[in-house]
């Protein structure tokens, strides 16, 4: 298992397969992707998990589009990636991290100290909640 920067194109392949397989691949693009930093985990030479970091200001970032290939879920790849990104951001002076979590993944994020902020909302028919950690 290896933490590594990845390209947007590499992220799009996983985002599409995991998050929105019923939509066109381009639907996995979000505003700001070209300026975001993309990270992944390699396993046996292939990227199995990825996420994107969007800097909102010098001390605040938003994590978006976190996805792990279905065959690799539950094996620690996502947790390793998430922990590695949080450590990298902290070392860079980021003190506040936010994200929009699918409500089905609340427990995962809470293990990392994230707290729900506000009411749930829907994107493309999926229920989410904003979460943050300082």
Domain 2-95 CATH superfamily: Gcn5-related N-acetyltransferase (GNAT) (3.40.630.30)
Q: Is the pLDDT of residue 123 over 90?
A: no
Q: What is the mean pLDDT of residues 25-31?
A: 90
Dump pLDDT digits (tens) for 85-103.
999 999 999 999 999 999 9
Rounded to whole angstroms, the Cα distance separating 94 from 19 reads 27
Dump pLDDT digits (tens) for 72-81.
999 999 999 9
Dump pLDDT digits (tens) for 100-116.
999 999 999 999 999 99
Percent of the chain predicted with pLDDT > 70: 100
Domain boundaries, the chain: 2-95
Give the strands of the sheet with 46-57, arranged side by side. 2-5, 37-43, 46-57, 60-68, 96-102, 126-133, 115-123
pTM: 0.92
Q: Is the pLDDT of residue 20 over 90?
A: no
78 neighbors 49 (Cβ within 8 angstroms) = yes
């Amino acid at each position: 298992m290896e933490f590594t920067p990845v390209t947007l194109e590499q992220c799009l392949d996983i985002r599409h397969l995991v998050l929105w397989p019923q939509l066109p691949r381009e639907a996995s693009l979000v505003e700001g992707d070209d300026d975001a930093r993309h990270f992944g985990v390699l396993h046996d030479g292939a990227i199995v998990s990825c996420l994107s970091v969007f800097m909102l200001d010098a001390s605040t970032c938003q994590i978006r589009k976190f996805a792990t290939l279905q065959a690799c879920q539950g094996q620690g790849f996502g947790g390793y990636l998430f922990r590695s990104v949080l450590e990298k951001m902290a070392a860079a002076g980021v003190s506040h991290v936010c994200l929009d979590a699918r409500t089905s993944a609340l427990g995962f994020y809470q293990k990392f100290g994230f707290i729900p902020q506000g009411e749930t909302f829907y994107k493309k028919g999926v229920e989410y909640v904003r979460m943050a950690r300082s």
